[in-house]
Amino acid sequence: MSNQVFEVFVILKRGDPATHVGSVVAPDPVLALHEAKETYVRRTECVSLWVVPRSAITAFAPEDEILFQAARTRDYRQAGYFTRHERQSVGPAPEPGGQSGETLAVSRGGAVS
């Protein structure tokens, strides 16, 4: 049986993302899991350990960089684009009796304060 390369991912605490820690060479997934355990988490506590055959991973080549350029120009898709501190005034708030009172502030997300 020929050896294959397995990529190793570890989750250290519940709720954490899986982190790539390295790779091992083994003839099958069971032996790869044992080798990964001995190599990467023998002295560290972890919640989960994954081994994935490198041949099962699909990735873009550096030549395919053009596929990612369109996403870079759309800042509004980033989580930090809108912040709670960015507010703009939308005018005075009407009082129940029809008189104008304090000014409302609306965040870009649409919440009124």
Query: pTM to 2 decimals?
Result: 0.56
Per-residue pLDDT of the chain (113 residues; tens, 9 = 90+): 689 999 999 999 999 999 999 999 999 999 999 999 999 998 888 899 999 999 999 888 877 777 766 555 666 666 666 665 455 555 666 666 655 555 555 555 555 55
The secondary structure of 5-16 as a DSSP string is EEEEEEE-STTP
* pLDDT at residue 75, rounded to an integer: 66
Q: What is the pLDDT of residue 102?
A: 53
Task: DSSP letter for 30, please.
Answer: H
Q: Are the C-beta atoms of 6 and 51 separated by less than 8 Å?
A: yes
